[in-house]
A and B are shown apart, each in its own frame.
Chain A
């Protein structure tokens, strides 16, 4: 490692002010700070009061994503051919998932470096996470050029137009996913997209639960062969890494222990989900809509709720910033997720749209929390 440091120090003058490659400084800075903790403090949001810098904290997120990703690769192969052995499944899954991740990193990275060089800012660390989150939320079967379109849209429209990392209103990875979802709906929803095999169609548990009006959602899911345990472990068709609640929980532990993601958002999301699902259950007898009868437990383990609330909703830039605001923000997302799943038949899954809506409301939630706090303190001051 000492030789690398010497090398980086020796070439540094070329990239710093006045050097011949001054414009490419972001590239140098990126390589330098990946290998070594920089001596400077983070200048723009998100701020974390800690000894780690943004790159270190984003790496922790990557580590937290690993269980879900590894399981997702296995599950992708498993869904294509449940009969094949473990190694075979990992190979099949890997050959489908790794290209998605590569395309996302390479195309997104090009945009990042382009903007960094033109706007003379550093390459944003958050991209390490954004570039991995997007492929993890896509169907494994998606054409690679759509991934390229999506990540381009997410980086340019979702992030750079509003000023880059720290200024984005929405989670860029979700903006990218939403773009692909609305631009190419045939590749993002419906039964055939969730498995690699062309002749094999598999409905996601959420789609199954909504399939026969007037029936009971839980028995529909059971009849399709999805047990609660399967759905918790994640051996169900779905997006690449969003199916396994278990693997996501492992990542959540890493994020909460390292204090990189805020547990209040996750807890709030769970409260919102359970409350909304119970309310829906109460309404169930009055309607033909089977989704109303789905119990909170099922809502929690089906679809991408766990993945979304742990990894997407907790994005430090687009989430609410006050503690009370985080509770409200989380509850809002959890409740909206159930509402979209249950009431809007056009969307089987609701977590993507509910987080985007939560992002849109986050600044307003913070504003009212702050106003309320100011009003409270003014009152206390007046009493003296």
Chain B
């Protein structure tokens, strides 16, 4: 039971795919300007990662090891195209903002990495937990980064104004949104601070 819990909870913090393994950075920078895009992106990754882990794990006895990468990529690509079409049909605006980054989940190191490192060697149940844990670990960081970026960069969360209007310079106040947060370096800085915080809490040191 302990091990099952670790499979799921480990990637949320101690072995987080972004802050510890430093995977999936590209999309973590690109889709975190606003929280809603980050949330949809995380949802898409949960679907793809759990799906690919379950399918790869179920087929692990029959996939010939020499062509396993191609087989896994085919499975992942199928899921990604499926979710991409789904977003285009039901969440067209957000899908436009996410643009190429949903499609790029195919090349997201986390997905292929978990299929290769975990799903090929473990049962379907464990693989689904591992996929869910990693995808949620990714989503958690995406939401934290995007919350900071949207709050300081645009003064809102999920598009709702948080910092009151009267504080802004345009309305007679003094506050100005932080433009750096809208640029990619802003995500790097927030991500770095998160890693700092996490390592301080977990007591992680570089070997």
Partner-B contacts on A (CB < 8 A): 143, 145-146, 149, 157, 161, 179, 182-187
Contact = CB atoms under 8 A, between A and B. Distances in A.
A184 B179 contact: yes
Sorted nearest first, the 5 A-B pairs with minimum C-beta distance are A183-B180, A183-B178, A182-B180, A183-B179, A184-B176
Contacts, number: 24
A182 B185 contact: yes
Contact of A161 (B179, B181, B183, B196): B196
Contacts of B174: 143, 145
Given A143-B174, A145-B174, A179 B180 contact: yes
Interface in B154-207: 174, 176, 178-181, 183, 185, 189, 192, 196
Contacts of B192: 157, 161
Interface centre among B174, B178, B189, B192 (most CB of A within 10 A): B178
Interface of B: 174, 176, 178-181, 183, 185, 189, 192, 196
Interface centre among A145, A161, A179, A182 (most CB of B within 10 A): A182
A187 B180 contact: no
A167 to B, nearest CB: 15
24 contacts: A143-B174, A143-B176, A145-B174, A146-B176, A149-B178, A157-B189, A157-B192, A161-B192, A161-B196, A179-B180, A182-B179, A182-B180, A182-B183, A182-B185, A183-B178, A183-B179, A183-B180, A183-B181, A184-B176, A184-B178, A184-B179, A185-B179, A186-B176, A187-B176
A157 B189 CA distance: 8
A6 B174 CA distance: 48
Contacts of A157: 189, 192
A183 B180 CA distance: 4
B193 to A, nearest CB: 8
Given A143-B176, A161-B192, 4 more contacts: A145-B174, A157-B192, A182-B179, A183-B178
A187 B192 CA distance: 26
A143 B181 CA distance: 19
A194 B81 CA distance: 53
A187 B196 CA distance: 30
A20 to B, nearest CB: 27
Nearest to A143: B174
Contacts of A184: 176, 178-179
Contacts of A161: 192, 196
Interface centre among A146, A161, A183, A185 (most CB of B within 10 A): A183
Contacts of A146: 176
A276 B64 CA distance: 61
A127 to B, nearest CB: 21
A184 B189 CA distance: 16
Nearest to B183: A182
A186 B192 CA distance: 26
Contacts of A145: 174
A208 B181 CA distance: 30
Nearest to B174: A143
A145 B196 CA distance: 25
A179 B179 CA distance: 10
A182 B189 CA distance: 13
